[in-house]
A and B are shown apart, each in its own frame.
Chain A
Amino acid sequence: MKKMLMVSFVFLLSVPAFANVVNEINDPSAYSRAMGGALYALYAGPQSITYNIAGMATGKNEVFFSHIEHFLGVVRNEFLSGSFKLNNLYVGGAIQYTYPVDEFNYDQYKLSGGIAYRFGENSFGLDLNTWMGSDIKNGFSMDFGSIIKHENLSLAVVVKNAFASITWASTPSTAQSYTHELILGASYNAQKYILNSYLNVTSKELGVGAEIPVTSFFSLLGGYRLTFCKDLSKEVSTGTRIHYNGLDLDVAYVFKGSLQSGEVINPFYVSLTYNFSGGN
């Protein structure tokens, strides 16, 4: 175990400290945000398209929508996705729209489409992404994901934004390439609670979270997330999940602690998630 930890540590150090990853909202789900972003090892339906495409294979046909007020409401993000089951094969698609609301002319679209194949409790999948926007001519990347479940433990390995390149409408147009991201996830379902965690090795993000079902209709969510870059950014999150008649309503509050003040800054994120699934 110690050897594994040492290997992991060395691996972390080997990644550039300021990895050039795609600058996108990579955590649009309130369900995920409430649990520190640790959604990678869960079967979460069409919202998984942007986390781990393999998690799309829930056995249902579902539609997902989320709305995020980011950074004190300065930036908004809309996310709409759907997944459809064809025996063991799942086909999904998503559109993400990011835009500022402070009279600043900029927007960014991301279109994703992918497939996942489930065998038993395990699955894997891949999806293709393309970007558009007011300052983006075109962009492309690929994601690969897998979930391996053994009894109550699920493990996930995800490679995101492989072969990523975005051509920006600069003067002249510049194509920027980005580093692919390696993400590891784990989830433990203890029936009374579900523990989740993830580690983005490349961009140095990690989070842990828990879901505690209170009733069959209502769950409490909580999480903690760290991001390392120029400075350590800490987030404490909490939220609820209301499950009723195939509808999952998730609300998450995220308190950013980087400013080291909780009294006036109100560093909260609110996102609203609607999960329309075919069954209960």
Chain B
Amino acid sequence: MKFFTLFLLVLCLATFSFAIQMGTLSASPVYALKGDSFALSITLSPTSDVKTAYLMLYNSCSGSTETLYIPQIHGDTYKWYYSSYDSCDFRAQVQITQKSTNATLLSNIATFTTDIPAASVDSTIVYVPFITNSTQTWAVNALSVGSKALTFTTFSSPSGLSISPNSGSIQPGKSKRFEVSKTGFLLPGNIYVLDAFMDTNDPRINHSRYLLARVIMGPDGLVMTPIQISNDRVIAGSDVIFDFSIWKYDVTLNYAYVVWNTPKGSKILNIPPDHGHFSSSMRLTSPGTYTLSQVMINYMYKGLNNSITYYPNVKVEAAKSSKSMKLSLKNGTSDVGISLKSSSTPTVYAIDGTLKEKLYIKMAKDKNTWTASYTYADMPGPVTILSTFDGTDYVLSKSFERYRISGAQSINFNGGWISIPSGTFASTTIVSELSSTLFSNNLYKGFSNFNPVSNCVSLVSKSDPWATITYHLHFDTSAVKGLFDNIKAYKLANSGAWEALPTTLNIGDDMMVTFGAKTGTYALGLAANVDKSSKPTIKFFTAIPRKLIGSGNVQFILTVSKDCYYKLLIYDMRGRVVALQSGKALRTLGNLLYVLNSTTISNGLYVAVVAVGPSANSITETVSMSFAIVR
């Protein structure tokens, strides 16, 4: 028995050792158009025992059989290529002759066909700003390139497109015109991608679904040109002008602002839209790097407000220097006075609005002060006076803006805006606006009469206005110190002295003063002999929590009627000061004055006393409140 089993095992091994292992014959692709190439492959091993390998093809159209004798051999893979110029079904089989036994072996039968329905679509991709796409229709042709009728259905993904026809068939050799149009209502401001698809009976791999049209709708109807900036290396204290344009159609620009990242934090500038062209200036007061990081544009389209934010990332470097420049507009003229302090000789130019070329300005010298006057053109746009110096590639620049006034107009500037009502001037005229900072060493006379709390703004024109112009100026709350009732508007008189305006001021909650005046130079200030009777009052004062159980913090919250100074003292029951804090409280809800850590003091009852006043050492109201620590 054992001998018999061993005999069978040896017999089986001998059989496996000499038989050719034949894989499955396959066609790739199975479906193709006539003229396309098919590959028919099979694996045979060992190849050393293959004497001959032929591929036999049966053509169902002609009823004939042809034989392909020469395969391409890669390893143990035998491959035959075949192309048909008929639309037929085919059957294929491999015949092998074995070397060792001279036996003939046959493979399985593989089938493939060129008799299929098939489509050819010239897909289209359209990029459509939403502001122009509402009535457009796009046409796409699909051709039936197979030998059988092509059936189809169409759909939109996501919905939002209408496709006609949405189903049907196309006979071989015929084409069909599809019309794609937008039916969905899309909110402006976003980018939408809508696809029109056609599902077919095309059996080829990845050919059952065709893209007819891809419609990309977005807000790019508001195209912003690259930002141009007057200088990227300036001396601190300079103005840099930046401008850009917006291409728009059928939308209303509401407002725009830019965000500058300055060495002292972010600064937001509102910039006036002027027929799609935006131009504004930024004063670089401190040394360091300034980055124009964002431009936000708010617009209205079909009654809907929306915004677009761009990130231009424009950098300007401001260097520290003792050089300074001051401009002064002269009312009733088109002249600007230039005063420049520098120990080295400056070369001064003007860039006058759309006159991009530099206009050389001759300066007169008096010790380290250089002066000149420049007559600017009567055209809207910015004027930049810039100076270069020997030995440095930094420039010092100051700028002002001109507007063509033909009706009501609002002029925005750094620190406020000016509202010019219609009919202010007898006819269309050019006005110029310059905002500047008043320093203690300024050139004006009479400066000591008041302490400036706002930027100084000049609005000049050749002709006198007929109506009163409204000035809106922001003031510095830290300079006002809560003495809101003592803010006055000052005008620079022709004599060079500052005079307080008798007009009534309107002091708003947004730290802005509004007053009416005509053209001239104005600033807000506090009189030197300011009346300190303006008393901030305490509206609300509390500790959170009033009773702290367990370890933790007690927060002290204060609400005051106006900006003021405060002093917080926390007493224990012995009258000892266990904590104190002083500082400024703003006219907002909930100034967090102090956070008391309970672990620093004993348990028990305490009293917090807060005092407020218009100055650090002037207290006008005091409120006390008890609280407890129970650790």
Q: Are B626 and A106 in contact (CB under 8 A)?
A: yes
Q: Are B607 and A71 in contact (CB under 8 A)?
A: yes
Residues of B within 8 A of A263 (CB): 619
Segment at the interface with A among B271-279, B332-340, B502-510, B569-577: B569-577
Q: Are A27 and B574 in contact (CB under 8 A)?
A: yes
Is the C-beta of A180 less than 8 angstroms from some C-beta in chain B?
no
Residues of A within 8 A of B572 (CB): 23, 229
The winner among A18, A24, A71, A135 for most chain B CB atoms within 10 A is A71
Q: Are A264 and B621 in contact (CB under 8 A)?
A: yes
Is the C-beta of B157 less than 8 angstroms from some C-beta in chain A?
no
Contact with B along A258-280 (1 / 0, CB 8 A): 11110111110000000000000
| A74 to B623 CA separation, bound complex (whole angstroms) | 9
| A275 to B385 CA separation, bound complex (whole angstroms) | 85
Segment at the interface with A among B46-54, B118-126, B181-189, B598-606: B598-606
Residues of B within 8 A of A259 (CB): 567, 569, 609, 611, 619, 622
Residue of B567, B626, B631 near A74 (CB, 8 A) is: B626
Residues of B within 8 A of A23 (CB): 572-574, 601-606
Chain B interface residue count, CB cutoff 8 Å, equals 40
Residue of B567, B573, B617, B626 near A25 (CB, 8 A) is: B573
Residues of B within 8 A of A232 (CB): 577
Segment at the interface with A among B94-102, B302-310, B464-472, B546-554: B546-554
A-contacting residues, B489-536, CB 8 Å: none
Is the C-beta of B625 less than 8 angstroms from some C-beta in chain A?
yes
Segment at the interface with B among A38-46, A166-174, A191-199, A215-223: A166-174
Segment at the interface with B among A5-13, A82-90, A97-105: A97-105
Contact with B along A68-79 (1 / 0, CB 8 A): 001110110000
Is the C-beta of A256 less than 8 angstroms from some C-beta in chain B?
yes
Is the C-beta of A245 less than 8 angstroms from some C-beta in chain B?
no
Give the residue name and chain of the A residue nearest to B610 (CB). A259
Q: Are A135 and B630 in contact (CB under 8 A)?
A: yes
B-contacting residues, A153-183, CB 8 Å: 166, 168-171, 174, 176, 178
B610 to chain A, nearest CB (A): 10
Q: Are A71 and B609 in contact (CB under 8 A)?
A: yes
| A95 to B605 CA separation, bound complex (whole angstroms) | 18
Residue of A105, A169, A205 near B574 (CB, 8 A) is: A205
The winner among B547, B572, B579, B627 for most chain A CB atoms within 10 A is B572
Residues of A within 8 A of B137 (CB): none
Residues of B within 8 A of A100 (CB): 605, 626
Residue of B577, B605, B621, B622 near A75 (CB, 8 A) is: B605
Is the C-beta of B453 less than 8 angstroms from some C-beta in chain A?
no
Once A98-B573, A231-B580 are accepted as A-B contacts, the answer to whether A104 and B549 lie under 8 Å apart by CB is no
Q: Are B574 and A24 in contact (CB under 8 A)?
A: yes
Q: Which bracket fits the contact residues of A?
A: 35 or more
Q: Are B630 and A168 in contact (CB under 8 A)?
A: yes
Residues of B within 8 A of A70 (CB): 573, 607
Residues of B within 8 A of A106 (CB): 547, 605, 626, 628
Is the C-beta of A208 less than 8 angstroms from some C-beta in chain B?
no
B-contacting residues, A200-244, CB 8 Å: 203, 205, 227-233, 235
Q: Are B602 and A265 in contact (CB under 8 A)?
A: no
Is the C-beta of B620 less than 8 angstroms from some C-beta in chain A?
yes
Q: Are A230 and B580 in contact (CB under 8 A)?
A: yes
| A228 to B343 CA separation, bound complex (whole angstroms) | 56
| A74 to B574 CA separation, bound complex (whole angstroms) | 14
Question: What are 24 of the A-B contact pairs (CB < 8 Å)?
Answer: A18-B600, A20-B602, A23-B573, A23-B602, A23-B605, A24-B573, A70-B573, A71-B624, A72-B609, A74-B625, A104-B547, A104-B627, A104-B628, A106-B605, A170-B550, A171-B550, A205-B574, A229-B578, A231-B577, A232-B577, A233-B576, A259-B619, A261-B618, A265-B622
Q: Besides the contacts A27-B575, A264-B619, what 16 more A-B pairs have beta carbons closer than 8 Å?
A: A23-B604, A71-B607, A71-B609, A72-B609, A100-B605, A102-B625, A104-B547, A104-B626, A168-B630, A227-B576, A230-B577, A230-B579, A259-B567, A259-B609, A259-B611, A261-B611
**8 closest residue pairs by CB, A with B:** A23-B604, A100-B626, A261-B619, A229-B576, A231-B577, A71-B607, A265-B622, A135-B630
Chain B interface residues toward A at CB < 8 A: 546-547, 549-550, 567, 569, 571-580, 600-607, 609, 611, 613, 617-622, 624-628, 630-631
Chain A interface residues toward B at CB < 8 A: 18, 20-27, 70-72, 74-75, 98, 100, 102, 104-106, 108, 135, 166, 168-171, 174, 176, 178, 203, 205, 227-233, 235, 256, 258-261, 263-267
